[in-house]
Chains A and B, each alone.
Chain A
Amino acid sequence: MARLLEVNNLKTYFFTDEGVVRAVNGVSWHLDEGETLALVGESGSGKSVTAMSILRLIPNPPGRIVDGTVLFEGKDLLKMSDSEMRSIRGNRIAMVFQEPMTSLNPVLTVGAQIREALQLHLGLDEDGANARAVELLELVGIPEADQRIKDYPHQFSGGMRQRVMIAMALSCNPKLLIADEPTTALDVTIQAQVLEIMARLATELNTAVLVITHNLGVVARYADRVNVMYAGEIVESGSAIEVFKRPRMPYTVGLMASVPRLDATEKVRLATIEGQPPLLIQEIQGCPFRPRCDWAIDKCATDHPELEEKEPGHWARCHRNPQTDERTRMPAGAAAAGN
């Protein structure tokens, strides 16, 4: 598979009154054509900032990309002019965000908005754009599409609006789709509808997808590979199957064990990760996860671990191996498990 996107040592900082927030602190990863990569991690770990950096949508001030390259089809997005970037955004690189109401213009009909995108990016005429817009709505399962196209966004349900966003995002046959919590606000049955449509279209068009989500089930179902973020860094990366089966970084171990499984017949006590992630304003000594880690040793307080290839294609940032090494501390919550 051909390399589509390559992020190298990306650093995005926010310069605030309280200090410098190192939101994304030197991340490197890649995405191949047609591949689906999931980005997971604790709230505030830098997932959205990573996505916004690729799209060059970081508010400045206070934010700035201070270092790194983002190669898309071999060209560095960070070096492009604003107008070059605008022609790529919404065209070669499409995006879907969490709240569809804010991404659609409330005073324009749904049809007008899809037509505009099609005319702008594909150069279709009025009639051509209209016909294609109806087709797209039908494609994402909106009944009576030729009528509904005259409606305004508020006349659509949340799930329908999100499907419209996906239709618009995929209307220009993008090479890359960035979806940041695309279904978090939706009900489970609607989530399933929307995600199935997204996955099907991506496969048909050979679109690569970067999906940011808190839902590990969604990762398990759709992602080829997973990147786990913690405190602005990638702490684990590998195939979804490997990362779920044998997580190599204690944060990932905790994350996996803290979600109840839908297919669990026995009641087991959930694992917890006590404490808080570090403030990104402070310079961090050693491993950022150390204060919350059940496997921490002395070295973790002083040496910042590198992202190492632990198994072929499976990378982790950890001095220990939680699959084989003994814990140095009882897992949080285990003491109370007796009652």
Chain B
Amino acid sequence: MRRVHEFSIAEALLAQVLRHAPTGAQVREVEIRVGALRGIEPEALQMSWEAVTHETAVAGCTLKMDLQPWTITCPECGRSWTSPIPFVDCTCGNTAPAPVGGDELDLVSMTVDEEET
């Protein structure tokens, strides 16, 4: 597949998941949190994840993405709201309220099936 920006992130995530997976456990789901600044295309990351995990110990493991929106603040009227895109107009008529996004890219949790002892 084409080398998209999301591919290297999927590769780094896979290495990290394999590092954290308890021995003998089957990883079912991986949950990540992604700040708006990262500009991640969820479909591209999902496809990359499937590609990099294919035929590995975590093949078939679900990737859950918690995509953080932009926080928009309007200095004219004091309103603040969230938006999937950074450049939006305010209802007060201001065409340039300020967008603030996070740059986090974190592995939040892993859900695993463990053998009962």
Partners in one complex: no
- Which chain A residues have a beta carbon within 8 Å of chain B's beta carbons? none
- Which chain B residues have a beta carbon within 8 Å of chain A's beta carbons? none
